Amino acid sequence: MKFDFDMILSVHRSYKNKIDSAREILKKPLCLTEKILYTHLFDPNQSQTYKRAEDYVNFAPDRVAMQDATAQMALLQFMNAGRSSTAAPSTVHCDHLIQAYRSAIIDLPEAERVNKEVYDFLQAASSKFGLGFWKPGSGIIHQVVLENYAFPGGMMVGTDSHTPNAGGLGMIAIGVGGADAVDVMAGMPWELKMPKIIGVKLTGELSGWASAKDVILKLAGILTVKGGTNAVIEYFGEGASKLSATGKGTICNMGAEVGATTSIFPYDAQMETYLRATERGEIADSCKTIFADLQADPEVIKNPEKYYDRLIEIDLSSLEPYINGPFTPDAAHTLSSFAQIVKKEGYPQAMEVGLIGSCTNSSYEDMSRAASVVRQALEKDVPIKAQLIINPGSEQIRATTQRDGILQIFEEAGASIMANACGPCIGQWKRDTDKTKRPNSIITSFNRNFAKRNDGNPLTHAFVASPEIVAALTIAGDLCFNPMRDYLTNTKGEKIKLQEPAGTNLPPLGFAKGNDGFIAPSMDEKATINIAADSQRLQILPDFAAWDGKDIMSQSLLIKAKGKCTTDHISMAGPWLRFRGHLDNISNNMLIGAINAFNDKTNTVLNAQTGNYMEVPQYARALKAQGIGSIVIAEENYGEGSSREHAAMEPRFLNVRAIIVKSFARIHETNLKKQGMLALTFIAKEDYSKIQEQDKISITGLTDFKPNKNLRVIIEHIDGSSESFDVAHTYNEMQIKWFKAGSALKIIDN
């Protein structure tokens, strides 16, 4: 048994009493989000009416999950926390470091060879500190968590932004940086700003080509990439009960693309069925005892506008399939309008590759529905014009779809079956193409489509859709193909229309086991963690210096970033994943994808000392070598995307003193604070335009650094003139202590 049944029972036994206490304090009916949050306060005696989007609250999550790329830095930090074991059940999942190239049979052994040093480190640390370890090939973290660890009414954190996938089983699951995970593993309070709650009422029922993926694709267009920041998206309504548990997981997973803290669905019969199908009947039985409190109170459902900060309604019966992109997941287009958009914008119409899988869409339901579309092409002699790539979500899904003939359908269509891993979704795709940089279009069932995200080519137009729409467009090889109305021509010259996809939520014969590659927690105190002094993959963490007690004076501008600056821009994935355990090496990718506002180029900034242009990390290193710091300026939603804390640790390591932006993405702002960085925002957004290329920047007021008290920025221009303005921050008393100590980890040490 991989899940922690005793822990889950303990949570459920105390659940109702804690909710009753919270209801008494708040003196109002409760949303589901409030119920779970208030039952997971670190100190129940500190329960009070916390203000949404204002008050910081300490929580005690039930468990932690980490993927291999982020687990390296998290465990390196945990090694300095002084504990012999984790305080909360924790797992490591090896899914990010496997490059997709030929097929699972070839790629997996190669990944085990190339990454042996890292895998050995992760397994040894897991053994020593009592973590569960999922070997390479066992599956994508979020699919494995849904199959084994997620439970209704629970709360977890994960070092990946798509941790909210577990909301498909009624769990508050939040993506965090490694330092936050260390807090939970060390038994410390985990801090989060009490989120707003966005209610999404679902009515009707899906039909035809529409799928659960289209719910979140539509919602992304409504909320945009930052519309869910510091908010939980809580779904409810009769339409919610019609969606499968894995479909709910898909919706919650991609809520990360609107900046949401997490997303959640109420417990229902679909979840119970999934729990029993995945051999967790005991949990389903336990849920029956607290069923009423695994959903919002009746008064909330009856009058949702009174209890949610924002209310959105979506009618599933009229929902049309969506295709989102390119270059941002909130560019939402209905299928019926998409062809016109393609032609109007001049996107490459030929669709070259279709990719199905990822943590968002790799369930049995996804695979069976996509296969039903591909099967039609095979049976009716319709040629498949684009390349097809499949990434099963877990070994359980792979083994089951292999047994049931689903993978064989894809293989007969010429698909490459890759390892049970993230692969192309996170840039781990060695794409065979005639030219590396040319305009082209691909379509995926993934969650993100930032420039260069999948194959490293900034001219690849990546679009996001459901697996069944991906399958249809792969067959056609044409972005403008609409399977709801258009016809294909088979080898006999006959006109063929694809029928609506058909599949099943769960395998009729039950799940097959396969070789799951799980190593249970062992607590082997004798386990040795070896990190070679000359390793290029792993490095003992440096000790970040404490604040010197002074204001920051006359620092150089490192870069003024223009437009979208995601964690992919700040700390790229893809080939850089191999350095996720080596801070010095990976710092060579710091901000190399950010666009310099002064020349519209990437990784080219002016060295104000020499007058020459150079790469961003090299300029930062040159300043650091002289004992000089630097400042980064950027625009809206800085740090959007992944939870990767490397995007915060690299500036810290290279002596960047502050990041000043128009607005931050939630996870990244927290990651910066955890590493002792200054994360500041322009009060007047037009002050961004005042920053010039050769400016020296000072930040004053730090000697009296207090919550809700602005700091002052002084900019000295090259012509001798100067300007000043206030900047805001969201630091509380504890976070100011992190800054002064040099990092949050040093507070744990103390």
Catalytic residue annotation: 95-96, 160, 448, 642, 644
Interacting residues of 740 by C-beta distance below 8 A, sequence separation 6+: 546, 547, 705
Residues linked to residue 59 through DSSP beta bridges, in sequence order: 41, 190
* Residue position matching structure tokens 């500036």: 651
CA–CA distance, 36 with 194 (Å, rounded to integer): 12
Say if residue 321 is preceded by a cis peptide, omega within 30 of 0: no
One-letter amino acid of 472: A
* Residue position matching structure tokens 């949303």: 31
CB atoms within 10 A of CB 238: 12
**108 alpha-carbon distance from chain centroid:** 23
DSSP 293-316: GGS--HHHHHSGGGTSSEEEEEEG
CA separation, residue 656 to residues 131, 590, 713 (Å): 34, 11, 15
Tally of CA atoms within 13 A in the half-sphere of 449 that contains its CB:
27
CA angle centred on 72, ends 520 and 117, rounded to 5°: 80
Q: Exposure string (b/e) for 609-639, b if CB count within 10 Å is 16 or more?
A: eeeeebbbbebbbbbeeeeebbbbbbbbbbb
CA–CA distance, 224 with 259 (Å, rounded to integer): 8
Residues linked to residue 139 through DSSP beta bridges, in sequence order: 394
**101 alpha-carbon distance from chain centroid:** 23
Q: What interhelical angle do 245-253 and 364-379 show, nearest 10?
A: 100
CA–CA distance, 71 with 159 (Å, rounded to integer): 7
Cβ-contact 743, 673 below 8 angstroms: no
**R_g of the chain computed on alpha carbons:** 25
One-letter amino acid of 232: V
CA–CA distance, 387 with 376 (Å, rounded to integer): 17
Phi, psi (rounded to 5 degrees) for 722: -145, 160
CB atoms within 10 A of CB 53: 13
| Both structure tokens of 633 | 């300026």
Closest C-alpha among 331, 300, 258, 224 to residue 32: 300
Q: Exposure string (b/e) for 413-435, b if CB count within 10 Å is 16 or more?
A: bebbbbbbbbbbbbbbbebeeee
* Residue position matching structure tokens 């009416």: 49
One-letter amino acid of 503: G
* Dihedral sign (CA 203, 472, 421, 570): negative
CA–CA distance, 590 with 594 (Å, rounded to integer): 9
Q: Count the helix, strand and coil residues of the chain and give each as a percent rounded to the nearest 5.
A: 35, 20, 45
Grouping H, G, I as helix, E, B as strand and the rest as coil, residue 613 is strand
CB atoms within 10 A of CB 506: 21
Closest C-alpha among 466, 502, 497 to residue 484: 497
CA angle centred on 137, ends 132 and 143, rounded to 5°: 70
CA angle centred on 119, ends 118 and 125, rounded to 5°: 90
Closest C-alpha among 723, 656, 727, 729 to residue 690: 723
Beta strands in 55-153 (DSSP E): 56-59, 63-67, 90-93, 132-134
